[in-house]
């Protein structure tokens, strides 16, 4: 497997995002299926695994931890705090809460360590910047966790270039994670370049556009009731039908994948790998077959002409619908196109 770097860690150029083994896209797969995907990733050379306290309100960490425990010396284990499920109301129902206060981050990290069954998390992200808490205060807590040997490196998720620079002034940030794909190119406004300048790895989540770019999701009406894509404007039926034309028209994405001699999913990931040596995609999947397909993207080489045509096809103005609805957009600090 091609290697890249996150801070002090050499990692596989394509990692595994573990979220959808427990969270977000309707009913998650059975635990044994999730363990099979994790084991297949290990067998095929993946050394970067990404989870979070939020995913399944701890269930994902409990799934991932035991499978990876015997391999800790050869993998980079990543998790996130600052956005967790907290009990609310008399019934104790868990609700997503963004809380970047130092005491909360220390609590979150301790809980993640227990669920993962490890003494240290290699890369620990602030999952969301809590805009009620100065980033410097949240970073201070992460630095203390590092000094205590609880984490080895610090990451940020879904923040803008100015917030990254403020955080990096407190302590070097090893990685910034945000959504990045051909149909979500907000990172190109500023933060991708800021990462390059500061020596920060850029970890791209949803690199195949939450199932859009592979072209297998044709009817968004079939999405499960609790699938998070139902609340995303790009997946509204009218917008989605327009977006599908980018895949299907003559000279569109499907034709370009055929020209490149790979699948659309592989073309999506190969394009990301071509955006810079500091870019590391972390596709998620519940399928061992799809995992193998995704990892095959590391062997795909794209020439400058094909890269230019992909760039032109997926200009931000060509995408219909916003990345997040208004409520979710208010929770992140990423730059947006005018």
Query: pLDDT digit string (tens) for 234-271?
Result: 999 999 999 999 999 999 999 999 999 999 999 999 99
In a domain, 160, yes or no: yes
Cβ(187)–Cβ(202) under 8 Å?
yes
The pair of structure tokens assigned to 131 is: 């805009």
Domain that holds residue 40: 3-210+265-300
Contact 135, 164 (CB under 8 A): no
Residue 246 domain-assigned?
no
- Which residues, at least 6 apart from 210, have a Cβ–Cβ distance to it below 8 Å? 229, 232, 235
**Residue 162 within any structural domain of the chain:** yes
Number of independent structural domains in the chain: 1
Which pLDDT does position 92 carry in this prediction? 76
What's the confidence (pLDDT) of residue 90?
A: 66
Residue 314 lies in a domain: no
Domain-embedded: residue 287: yes
Question: In Å, how far are 6, 17, 262 from 123, measured between CA atoms?
Answer: 9, 14, 32
Task: Please identify which residue in the block is written with the tokens 């020439």.
Answer: 303
Query: Does the residue 318 lie in any domain?
Result: no
Closest CA to 50 of 139, 185, 178: 178
CATH of the domain at 291: 3.20.20.100
Active site residues: 55
What is the rounded average pLDDT of the residues 313-323? 96
**Residue 233, in any domain of the structure:** no
Chain segment 133-168, per-residue pLDDT in tens = 999 999 999 999 999 999 999 999 999 999 999 999
Task: Look at residue 27 and tell me if it is in a domain.
Answer: yes
Please report, for residues 13, 35, 104, 107, the alpha-carbon distance to residue 180 in angstroms, rounded to integers and kept in the order given.
Answer: 15, 26, 28, 30
């Amino acid at each position: 497997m091609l290697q890249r770097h996150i801070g002090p860690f050499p990692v596989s150029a394509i990692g595994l995002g573990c979220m959808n083994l427990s969270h977000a896209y309707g009913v998650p797969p059975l635990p044994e299926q999730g363990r099979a995907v994790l084991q297949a990733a290990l067998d095929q050379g993946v050394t970067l695994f990404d989870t979070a306290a939020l995913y399944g309100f701890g269930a994902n960490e409990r799934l991932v931890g035991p499978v990876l425990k015997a391999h800790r010396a050869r993998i980079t284990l990543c998790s996130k705090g600052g956005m967790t499920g907290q009990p609310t109301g008399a019934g104790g129902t868990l609700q997503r809460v963004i809380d970047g206060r130092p005491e909360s981050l220390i609590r979150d990290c301790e809980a993640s360590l227990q669920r993962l069954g490890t003494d240290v998390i290699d890369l620990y992200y602030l999952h969301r910047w809590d805009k009620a808490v100065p980033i410097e205060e949240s970073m201070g807590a992460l630095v203390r966790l590092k000094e205590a040997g609880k984490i080895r490196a610090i990451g940020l998720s879904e923040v803008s270039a100015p917030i990254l620079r403020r955080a990096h002034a407190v302590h070097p940030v090893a990685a910034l994670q945000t959504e990045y794909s051909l149909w979500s190119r907000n990172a190109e406004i500023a933060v991708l370049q800021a990462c390059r300048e500061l020596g920060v790895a850029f970890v791209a989540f949803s690199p195949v556009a939450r199932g859009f770019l592979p072209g297998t999701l044709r009817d968004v009406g079939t999405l499960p009731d609790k699938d998070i894509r139902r609340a995303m404007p790009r997946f509204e039926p009218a917008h989605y039908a327009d977006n599908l034309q980018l895949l299907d028209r003559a000279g569109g994405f499907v034709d370009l994948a055929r020209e490149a001699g790979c699948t659309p999913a592989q073309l999506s990931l190969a394009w990301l790998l071509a955006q810079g040596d500091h870019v590391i995609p972390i596709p998620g999947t519940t399928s061992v077959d799809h995992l193998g397909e995704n990892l095959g993207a590391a062997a795909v080489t794209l020439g400058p002409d094909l890269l230019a045509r992909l760039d032109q096809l997926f200009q931000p103005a060509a995408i219909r619908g916003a990345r997040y609805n208004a409520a979710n957009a208010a929770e992140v600090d990423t730059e947006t196109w005018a």
